[in-house]
Structure 1
Amino acid sequence: MSRFTLNRFGATWRSHALILAAVTCVAAWSASAQDAVEPEAAKILIAMSENLKSIPALSVDYDADQEIVDLGGQKIQYSASGTIALDRAKGFRLTRKGPFADAEVIFDGSTISLHSKRTNVYAQLQSPGQSVEVAADELRVATGLDAPGADLLASDPYAVLTDGVTKGTLVGSAFVGGVECDHLAFRTDIVDWQIWISKGNNPLPLKYVITTKWVTGAPEYSLRLSNWKSDAIDAGQFTFIPPANARKLERVYTDLTGEMSLEAGE
């Protein structure tokens, strides 16, 4: 299970508004949520969530590692890199370059286009709704492809991230890419996950790790996010025009490494 997971920025945000929103959300907690998550951990996660929600358009770079446990019990880690550009009102564009694929996924408000640059083939899906969140869900259900950091870019990241959480704690301070962060750890019945959030007035997720604890070997999915930006998002990148000589295919799926594969229909 890889949670949404998909990265980016360099803007100054209104710290007073974020703090007020965080305090308001904390005050509205249910007793069960208070029991499950330490107040300080919740406050930090809420502040990050409110920050992300306040940004209408953004972009980010990511590096992802997916562990696979083979039949002999050996862990093999597959790495990929890419970019994410998002405009909540217009669409998104995700690129991914890994050991077996060089691909992009583009949503223009109605159609989800998946293009393999390596083989110059593409496939398209119709989204049941115009929102980025609905399109991301359709992509996941129809293809098994989980956009990196999708949970983080949902309309309400805090609600998505804490769904099913049985425990949440503030581990302490740490550094990711030279940036000081708050390190949080959470548990659910299925996975354990950790998140590193930059400290200061512009809290952003810089690292995200999910451990599938009941699978043999407890494989991990990790995501590092960098170069967050919240300006100069070119809406033209949300339009997909098939390259010359590109073949349109009917089927798309993901393999065990999380790579996207396209196949010709029968």
Structure 2
Amino acid sequence: MKHRFARNAQSALLISTLVILVGGCSTQQAASLPEPQVQPAPSVESNPVEPFPMEPKAMDALRKMGGFLRTLKTFEVRFKVSKDEVLDSGQKVMVDGISELTVQAPSRLHFSTKIDEAHRDLQFFYDGKAFTIYGNTNKFYASVAAPATTHELLDVAEERYDIDLPFRDLFSWGTDKADITAIQSAIYIGPTKINDVPCDHYAFRNVDVDWQIWIEQGKTPLPRKLVITTKEEEGHPQYVSVMDWNLAPKINKQLFTFVPPKDAHKIEFAVVEVATENTK
């Protein structure tokens, strides 16, 4: 029996800029309570609310990672993704998928993503001239003239077509497009390994999401794992991505240009309507 998935905030994702990363440190409850006693209610002054911690080490790690990512000219990254989806019934289920991104800066990229249970099997093409989305299952594609650089494309896709590409964060971290002020808490959890790669684990908190990130230690501070918890949705659905990087790939440039199959059907992108103020 097939079930339809309800739309949730993560379905538009990877992540929207630096503000959509993930956190999650549990707080410990008291082990036991004393016998009930009649006591005056504590005043606000006697129990001040402590601000969320902002550890410089955690913020510096994000800046260092972002700076390194901006030095990369050609790379491939494979994302092993697990994410919570919400059925129309309201039940939350976890589905798995694989995404792959190939980039040649400043003006070429190819992205594919496949999640069987959610019936998603898409490819994104950009060759510096055209931007195309193709559905491998339904054979529909849409293509438009594109700006000259990947950074410009990401802006146009979001602002004109309401397409928030899930790898956008890789191009945003450490730039003025990453809203650092949105981060309310930043802490260092400790060292660990992701797929045998030594990493440092950090946790962050924003108003609408908690997020965690594992950053490779040493001279190549690559993000190796990302977890996003959406706090504003029922059940707090999570998005988990484990990343495998290749910084010296052999790439066929034909990968970036879409050639429609004979059985493909062209459709048009829906343009976002920009609300204008009524001056009458």
TM-score normalised by length of structure 1: 0.74
- Per the alignment, residue 173 of structure 1 pairs with 191
Task: State whether structure 2 residue 105 is matched by structure 1 residue 59.
Answer: no
Give the 3-state SS of the residue equivalent to 2:60 in structure 1: helix
Secondary structure at 2:182's aligned position in 1? coil
The verdict on how the C-alpha distance between 1:196 and 1:157 changes in structure 2, with shifts beyond 3 A counting, is farther
Distance in 1, matches of 2:192 and 2:213, equals 11
Match in the other structure for 1:122: 141
Q: Structure 1: which 5+ residue stretches go unaligned?
A: 7-34, 254-266
Q: Which segments of 5 or more consecutive residues in structure 2 lack a partner in the other structure?
A: 1-8, 17-51, 272-280
Residue 185 of structure 1 aligns with an amino acid whose one-letter code is A
1:104 counterpart SS class: strand
Match of 2:180 among 152, 162, 166: 162
Equivalent residues of 1:166, 1:189 under 8 A apart: yes
1:241: how far off? 1.3
Change beyond 3 A, Cα 1:191–1:155: closer
Alignment partner for residue 232 of structure 1, among 225, 228, 250? 250
Aligned length: 224
Q: Match for 1:119: what amino acid?
A: N
Q: CA deviation at 1:40?
A: 1.2
1:245 to 263, 269, 272: 263
Mean CA deviation greater in 131-140 or 201-210: 131-140
Q: Give the structure with higher Rg (CA).
A: 2
2:122 aligned residue: 103
- The correspondence for 2:229, drawn from 204, 211, 216, is 211
Deviation at 1:70, TM superposition (A): 4.1
Letter in 2 for 1:225: M
Deviation readout 1:113-171 (Å, 9 max, x if unpaired): 011222322111333x3221221233345555443332123374586263511111111
Asked whether the equivalents of residues 5 and 223 of structure 1 are also in contact (C-alpha less than 8 Å), the reply is no
- The alpha-carbon deviation at position 60 of structure 1 amounts to 0.8
* AA matched with 1:47: K
Quote how far apart the aligned CAs of 1:204 are. Answer: 0.6
1:91 aligned onto 2:91: no
**Is contact 1:69-1:216 (8 Å) kept?**
no
Question: Do the aligned partners of residues 64 and 202 (structure 1) sit closer, same or farther apart at CA in structure 2, a change above 3 Å counting?
Answer: same
Contact 1:133/1:155, CA 8 A, preserved across alignment: no
Give the AA of the match of 1:91.
R
> How high is the sequence identity, in percent, across the aligned residues?
26
When residues 248 and 144 of structure 1 are mapped into structure 2, their CA distance, relative to the original with a 3 A threshold, is same
C-alpha distance in 2, partners of 1:159/1:251?
A: 25
Q: Please, what is the CA RMSD of the aligned residues?
A: 2.7
C-alpha distance in structure 1 between counterparts of 2:242 and 2:161, whole Å = 23
Separation (CA, whole Å) in 2 of partners of 1:155 and 1:76:
30
Identify the residue that residue 46 of structure 1 maps to in structure 2.
63
Contact 1:94 1:147 in 2 (8 A): no
Larger relative helix fraction: 1
TM-score (norm: length of structure 2):
0.71
Conserved 8 A contact 2:62-2:173: no
Residues 53-96 of structure 1, C-alpha deviation per residue, up to 9 Å, x if partnerless? 11112111112222123466532112221210112222210011
The answer on whether the counterparts of 2:76 and 2:246 sit within 8 Å (CA) in structure 1 is: yes
The 1:193/1:61 distance shift into structure 2, 3 A limit, reads same
